[in-house]
Amino acid sequence: MILSMLMEPEQAAQAAADATKAAEAATEAAKAAPPWETLSPWDTLPQASTFAEGTDALYLFIVGISVFFFLLVMAVQAYFMWKYRRLSEDQKTSSITHNGKIEFLWSAIPAVLLVVIFVWGEVDFLKQTVPPNDAVQVRVTGRQWFWTIEYPDYPGVQLTSSVDESQVTLMVPKGQPVQLTMTSEDVLHSFYIPAFRIKRDVVPGRYTTLWFEATQVGEFNLYCAEYCGDQHSAMIGKVKVLEPELFAAALADAGKLEQEPSESLAAFGERIYSRRGCNACHSLDGSPKTGPTWKGLWQKNETTDKGAVLVDDNYIKESILEPNAQIVNGFTGVKMPSYKGQLDDKHITALIEFMKTLK
Amino acid sequence: MADDKSKHDAEHAEGHGKREPSYLVAQRGLKSWLFTIDHKRLGLMYLGSTLLFFFVGGVAAILFRTELLTPAGDFIPWLLSHLPTALGGTGGDVEAAVAQSATTYNKLFTVHGAVMVFLVIIPAVPGSLGNFLLPLMLGAKDVAFPRLNLLSFWVYTLGACFFLYTLFAGGLDTGWTFYTPYSSTTGTAVVSALFGAFILGFSSILTGLNFMVTIHKMRAPGMTWNRMPLFCWSIYATAVIQVLATPVLAITLLLLVVERTLNIGIFDPAMGGDPVLFQHFFWFYSHPAVYIMILPGFGIISELVAVHSRKHIFGYKAIALSSVAIAIISFIVWGHHMFVSGQSELAAIVFSFLTFAVAVPTAIKVFSWVATLYKGSIQFNTPMLYALMFLFTFSIGGLTGVFLGTLSVDVHLHDTYFVVAHFHYVMMGGTIIAFIGGLHHWWPKMTGRTYSVWQSKWAALLVFIGFNMTFFNQFVLGQQGMPRRYYTYVPQFQQQHMMSTIGSYILFLGLLWIAIYLLASLRRSAAPKEPLPDNTWGGASLEWSTQTPPIEHNFHGQPRVDTDPYNFPQIDRTGEVDHH
Ligand SMILES: [Cu+2]
Ligand SMILES: [Cu+2]
């Protein structure tokens, strides 16, 4: 029992190390490949979900048809350009004005091919809209400019992407369907994992869903694909696919946010600052972002909609658990989300210690 | 019939005898230009303003392409910290420059997109070449409502002023698509930009209305619908879309202004609105608008291909009617911009199917143009080079549209550089290339000047190379998963981004070169000793039958038409038995 408890995190760590290695190898390969090879389709983009092969097959089918018709038209054009170039001013030209048979053919043949492509694309698309019943449930929240991931079946686990570093944002088991239920707290975002060939807009005020089944262990890029303002290009992260037997333990490990034995309270606070996404809205260098900067915040005289207030332990705790109780002047636009139930007293103390260091 | 023809010839000859002052000098003074109701002068004024904005949009593009040379944000912070505050920089304050850099990048791509769409591509061809040529090709004295035409131009100028104001009031960072709720909450100058686009819409509607009536009512005697130059057909199809679709955009933009200024929830969910509704409204206009942009380009290509190969255009009816078919179908495909937006699956499937339906008439056109070359007498004049270039670039643009109309493939490609590449191949490789080709074709007619032939051919080559180098890569970038509108990106994409940026420099140089030799041809010292011949290329449509540059009232007397505009004298009629 004790042994197995010890084993799991270790295995998880091993898997994590393997995945990083695989990812490194992939980037190495991309770097080493000569430029003409990086131009060939899909060579650095893995096919890591059950949808990827289908989408790529259809993609290549259309590439084939397009290249064929393009070369055909260009070859005919080039031949005519050479053959019928003007050699003398009084060169006669043909009186042809139309040809019903040819015109019918060149309308009908593309039409038939287009219908084939349409049906193929439609069938694959429908597969993507119906998630299986036994899918692992994941909740995704988009905010300017980070993602928050929660697992209803694993209470307390919360992963966030971070503006400053691309850390693991989404963890999923290999070979099991995963369903994402997504919403946004502010503007439109779009959840995009190229290696899985999936994408779906994340819309405020409603839920959109997306599902996939990962087929490869490793780390893959995750992007926001819908323009959402300033840090749109920083709203990225990593999707980590794990062997199913390692998934639960790794998730628990990644989700937990505890002070390391060697870590000072302030350092732990700094870790919370980036892991819980405070850094998306609060800067440390004095520049205002969506929220007020934390530089010089401790013991400052803050003016809020309820009047003047001294920034002390109680005020900070209130600001984190009930952000709308007192709203700092000049920051009425975007609301800070409440962290009630997500950060405990220990976390808040650590954050306060961290703030104290920001003179 | 024979009678008509000889009468026409007689008038023609008479016209040659006594050269009248051209429309350019018929009246003098600034006022005679600003308040002119002459469609030709208005065409030139549109030409000047659209080209000016083309330059502005191009500079913005060069700036952000330079930023994209490297994965991290570095050029824009550098630029900002070296610019004085009066010019929007931070005057040496590096920290502030870094803090503003992402917003600045976003503003640059927004300016590029909004200016290119609303101030350049939509008005460029109808406003300049359309205005100049339509009455000439129809054998009319002017458009149906010359005063309304002047109003259109001034409304356009007013809209442009709102855009300029937006630039100086801190810029706009919503992207040209104004998607809500970002556009209802961002702090930049959204309201003035929306008003600008709203006003420009009116200019577009008035022009469309004017052209429609002109085509219905002002065709020369004998010019049946089937004897109308294809350029006029394409302008007609465009006008229909302008009149029917633009009001929807106007209302949508107005609703957004109402939402922002009066805080009434329409699109913003925080106030009970629906953000996806905005996308429906927006694309209900903006997809047809794609055809407002490209149809006139099709018209130009039909003229260029036929005239420079002295061949009757192949499949006149198919080309003319496919323009109309495209115009109609374009109204019911808007949802293909929203396959992943959360619209229903059924809607997505229907929109995908209808989108494929537009592909067929488009393919028909391309095939017909190539077939026109068959047994022609092809001369590689500069305009013809652009027409041939168009067939290359537009074919790529059209074919890549098939990828995006295909549901499952679009899920992957949507909002990536693949889309950026696709619409640049269509808008730039299609409309702008056709526009530049048309400009070279009708430049002598419009200005009475000729440009340097060797320079124009080399510049065309630069444009061709630069364009393909810039945008072909971006298909690969997109399919590898590079999202669009990214200020910074993962290092894996750097090679292709670099290639793209270098391509954009070449393209920019090519375009600059064109501007230089065209402007140089206008210098007083470049005036030709002898007036240019009326018919520069041996064209058979009516604009070539009048003086170059045309007189103020276009024609001496009323021209008559007894044949179609692609009946070149070089066409071999021997062996035709049942001609009469
Ligand atoms: Cu985003
Ligand atoms: Cu569209």
pLDDT, one tens digit per residue, over A83-94 is: 999 988 888 888
Between residues B87 and B310, the one the model is more confident about: B310
A208 interface with B at CB cutoff 8 Å: yes
Express each pLDDT in A104-119 by its tens digit: 999 999 999 999 999 9
Name which of A54-68, B11-25, B538-552 the model is least confident about: B11-25
Residue of B370, B378, B414 with shortest CB distance to A85:
B378
Q: What is the pLDDT of residue A39?
A: 40
Residue of A101, A186, A230 to mutate when probing chain B, most B C-beta within 10 A: A230
pLDDT tens-digit series, residues A26-35: 444 444 444 4
Name which of B189, B61, B35, B77 is nearest B117 in CA terms.
Answer: B61
Nearest ligand (C-alpha, residue B293): 2
Contact A227 B391 (CB under 8 A): no
**CATH code, domain with B299:** 1.20.210.10
Q: What is the 3-state secondary structure (H, E, C) of B415-431?
A: CEHHHHHHHHHHHHHHH
Is the CB of A139 inside 8 Å of chain B's CB atoms?
no
Chain A residues with CB under 8 Å of B374 CB are 80, 84, 94, 96
**DSSP H stretches of helix in B373-414:** 382-405, 407-413
How many angstroms is it from A82 CA to the middle of ligand 1?
50
Confidence of residue A166 (pLDDT cuts 50, 70, 90): low
DSSP letters spanning A129-189: H---TTPEEEEEEEETTEEEEE-TTSTT-EEE--SSS--EEEEEETTSEEEEEEEESSS-E
The whole-number average pLDDT for the span B220-247 is 92
pLDDT at A9 over 50: no
Q: Is the bond preceding B84 in cis, omega lying within 30 degrees of 0?
A: no
At B509, the amino acid letter reads L
**B63 lies in some domain:** yes
To the nearest whole Å, the CA of A224 is away from the closest chain B CA by 8
Cβ atoms A355, A269 nearer than 8 A: yes
* pLDDT reading at B18 higher than 80: no
How close B32 comes to chain A (CA, Å)? 42
Which residues of B are less than 8 Å from A204 in CB distance? 181, 269-270, 275
Total domain count, chain B: 1
Does pLDDT of B275 surpass 50? yes
Residue B379 placed within a domain: yes
pLDDT per position as a tens digit, B357-398: 888 999 999 999 999 999 999 999 999 999 999 999 999 999
Please give the Cα distance from B355 to B342 (Å, whole number). Answer: 18
Q: Are B319 and B148 in contact (CB under 8 A)?
A: no
Taking residues B437-442, report their average pLDDT. 96
* Class at the top of the CATH hierarchy for domain A265-356: mainly alpha
Q: Assess A164–B contact: CB distance below 8 Å, yes or no.
A: no
* Domain ranges (residues) in chain A: 52-83+99-129, 136-255, 265-356
Of B416, B481, B354, B352, the closest CA to residue A123 belongs to: B352
Of B275, B316, B363, the CB nearest to A110: B363
C-alpha angle with apex B98: B93 to B100, nearest 5 degrees?
95
Is residue B555 domain-resident?
A: no
In a domain, B432, yes or no: yes
Average pLDDT for B92-109: 85
Q: Does B550 sit behind a cis peptide bond, omega within 30 degrees of 0 on the bond before it?
A: no
Length of chain B: 580
Q: Select the residue of A102, A107, A221 nearest B360 (Cβ to Cβ).
A: A107
- Considering only residues 2 to 61 of chain A, which have any Cβ-Cβ distance to chain B shorter than 8 Å? 27, 30, 35, 38-39, 41-42, 44-45, 51, 54-55, 58-59
* A136-255 to CATH, choices 3.90.480.20, 2.60.40.420, 1.10.357.10, 2.30.40.10: 2.60.40.420
Neighbours of B564 (CB within 10 A): 18
Residue B571 lies in a domain: no
How far apart, in whole angstroms, are the C-alpha atoms of residue A211 and residue B5? Answer: 71
Which helix (H) or strand (E) is A298 found in, with range? none
Distance B531 CA to ligand 2 centre (A): 46
Distance from CA of B375 to the nearest CA of A (A): 5
Tell me, yes or no, whether B23 lies in a domain.
no
Estimate to the nearest angstrom the gap between the alpha carbon of B161 and the chain centroid: 20
Interface with A, mutate which of B409, B475, B492 (most A CBs under 10 A): B409
Pairing mode, strands A237-242 and A198-202 = unpaired
* pLDDT the model gives residue A230: 86
> Distance from the CA of B104 to the center of ligand 1, in angstroms?
16
pTM of the model: 0.87
| Interval B215-234 mean pLDDT | 94
Rg of chain A over CA atoms, in angstroms? Answer: 28
Phi and psi at residue B353, to the nearest 5°:
-60, -45
More confident residue, B220 or B94: B220
pLDDT for the residue numbered A164: 59
Q: In this predicted model, what pLDDT tens digit does every residue of A184-227 receive, in sequence order?
A: 988 999 999 999 999 999 999 889 999 999 999 999 999 999 99
Does residue B17 register a pLDDT over 90?
no
Distance, CA of A269 to CA of A254 (rounded, Å): 17
A220 strand-pairing partners = A239
Burial class (CB in 10 A: 0-12, 13-18, 19+), A164: exposed
Which residues, in sequence order, are CB contacts of B13 under 8 Å at separation 6+? none
Per-residue pLDDT tens over the stretch B318-359: 999 888 888 888 888 988 999 998 888 899 999 999 999 888
Cβ contact B367–A201 (<8 Å):
no
| B552 inside domain | no
Choose from A226, A231, A284, A331 for mutation: most chain B CBs within 10 A. A226
**How far apart are alpha carbons B62 and B60 in whole angstroms?**
6
Most confident of B177-186, B209-218, B490-499: B209-218
ipTM of this complex prediction, to 2 decimal places: 0.90
Task: Please state the φ and ψ torsions of residue A188, each to the nearest 5 degrees.
Answer: -70, 140
User: At B295, is the pLDDT very low, low, confident or very high (cuts 50, 70, 90)?
Assistant: very high
Min Cα distance B354 → chain A (Å) is 10
Question: In chain B, whose CA is at the least distance from the CA of A91?
Answer: B377
Tell which wins on pLDDT, B185 or A240.
Answer: A240
Query: At a CB cut-off of 8 Å and minimum separation 6, what does A349 contact?
Result: A265
The rounded distance, in Å, linking the Cα atoms of B175 and A111 is 35
Q: What percent of chain B has a predicted confidence (pLDDT) above 70?
A: 96
Domain hosting B425: range is 38-545
Region of residue B297 (left: phi > 0; alpha: psi -120 to 50; beta: else): alpha
State how far the Cα of B32 lies from the Cα of B25, in Å rounded to an integer. 10
8 Å CB contact of B181 and A188: yes
- Looking at CA atoms only, how far is residue B21 from chain A in angstroms? 31
Measured CA to CA, the distance from residue B503 to residue B511 in angstroms comes to 12
Which of B482, B408, B401, B397 minimizes the C-alpha distance to A57?
B408
The nearest alpha carbon in chain A to B399 belongs to: A66
Sign of the CA dihedral A148, A149, A152, A153? negative
pLDDT higher than 70, residue A40 = no
As a whole number, the mean pLDDT across chain B is 89
Residue B30 counted as domain residue? no
First to last CA, chain B: 11
A228 CA from centroid of ligand 1 (Å): 4
For residue B119, the one-letter residue type is: L
- d(CA B478, nearest CA chain A) in Å: 10
Q: Considering only residues B288 and A342, tell me which one the structure prediction assigns the higher pLDDT.
A: B288
A186 touches chain B (CB under 8 A): yes
Q: Examine the pLDDT at A18 and tell me if it is beyond 80.
A: no
The whole-angstrom separation of Cα B355 and Cα B329 is 8
